[in-house]
Each structure stands twice: as structure tokens, then as C-alpha cells.
Structure 1
Amino acid sequence: MSIIHTLSDVVALAPTADAPNWDAPPASPPGMETILPEWVGWAKYVAIGAGILGLIACGIMMMVGRRNRSHLSAEGASGLLWVLGGLSVVTLAAGVVPAIVT
């Protein structure tokens, strides 16, 4: 028997310690079970309110910029994409992040 086989057998017979569970499910710290979901709800509420105000602002820019201010109208139209993109990220965040992490 070669020395590599002998070392392999010795390593296989050596006692092993319990490995830590690196793939444990997320757990909230004590006392945060109700606080964090409330904060997430407030953040989503503020983000949706800001999105509504953003869409209104883009619409006003497009209306005001219609005559002799085409640059302002173009800024309002391009702002629509940014507002809708931001709202999409906020809306999808609660579903995407847990899917990636777990």
C-alpha cells in the first residue's frame, strides 16, 4: 500500500467537528419581528407617493414645454421612463431580493 492510500485512510478515520451551517435561513433579531416589515411598508408608501408626484411633474413639464420650449417637454418625456423604472424597482424589490438570497 502506498503512503497516499495510508494518509487517505488516516484522514478518513480522523474525528470531524460539526461544520457550521452556512446556509441557515434568515432570522430576525429579537424584537425586530414586527419593526422591519413596518419600516419596509413605510418605505414603499413613500416611494409610491414620490412616484405619483414624479409622474405629475413629468406631465406638467410636457404640458408647459409644448409651445416654444421643446427641451422642457423632452425632459418631461424622458423623466417618465426614469419614474416608471424606479417604481418598477420598488415594486419588485420585495419579491426579487428574497429569491436571490435564499
Structure 2
Amino acid sequence: MVLKLIVATQLALEPTLGPVLAPNPAPVAPPGMDAMANTFLGWGKWLLLVAGVVGFFICAGMMIVGRRNRSQTAVDGAAGVPWVLAGLALASLAAGLAGVALS
């Protein structure tokens, strides 16, 4: 009797499956937007590359300047290197992460 009650309760609480959904379609660019999107993404990659190089130059300069009698400046420069690397890593993974989020 108890087993029948448990099974009946589970069946009553089970959500309905609903309609069968169509497969997730691949992303398609609107007509005429391919070239513009590729140009925009290319500019973004180039700007991130320049920002990464400048970030490393700033960190290296702080470490060089802070070597003598300004050790906190050298420490701040060394602490900035992982942040520059993390930013560049996130930028390089951006397309993959966005693809996973949308799938």
C-alpha cells in the first residue's frame, strides 16, 4: 500500500515533457554583415594585441624602475604580469566561451 502511494505521488509530481524542440541551428550572419563583422573582430583582436604588448611593457618598466630603492614599484610591476596574461587568455578564449554559452 505504501509503495503504491509513493509511486502515485512520484507520477503526479513528475513534470510533463512538453513539445519536442527542434535542434539548435548554427549561427548565420545576416546578408551583407559577414565582411563588416570580420573587419570589426579583426580590429578588436589587433587592439587587444597592442594593449597586451603595452601592458607587458608597462610591467617591465615598473620592474626596471623599481629595482633600486623603490621595491614596491617593482612588486606592483611583477603583480601586473598575471593580470595581463589573464586578460589576453580571456580574449583568446572569448569566441569559444561565447559559443559554449549559446549552445
TM-score (norm: length of structure 2): 0.72
What 5-or-longer segments of structure 1 have no aligned partner?
Answer: 1-18
* Aligned equivalent of 2:5: none
* Aligned equivalent of 2:38: 37
* Aligned equivalent of 1:82: 83
1:2-47 CA deviation, whole Å, 9 max, x = no partner? Answer: xxxxxxxxxxxxxxxxx88583322212210111122111101110
For 2:93 and 2:26, locate their aligned partners in 1 and report how far apart those are by CA, in whole Å: 21
For 1:70 and 1:64, locate their aligned partners in 2 and report how far apart those are by CA, in whole Å: 9
1:29-84 CA deviation, whole Å, 9 max, x = no partner? Answer: 22101111221111011101110011011000001001111111111011101101
Residue 69 of structure 2 is aligned to residue 68 of structure 1: yes
SS of equivalent residue, structure 1 residue 34: helix
For 1:31 and 1:20, locate their aligned partners in 2 and report how far apart those are by CA, in whole Å: 30
User: Stretches of 4+ moved more than 2 A in 1?
Assistant: 19-25
For 1:63 and 1:57, locate their aligned partners in 2 and report how far apart those are by CA, in whole Å: 10
Identity of aligned residues (%): 39
What 5-or-longer segments of structure 2 have no aligned partner?
Answer: 1-19
1:6-17 equivalences in 2 (<5 Å): none
Q: CA RMSD in A?
A: 2.1
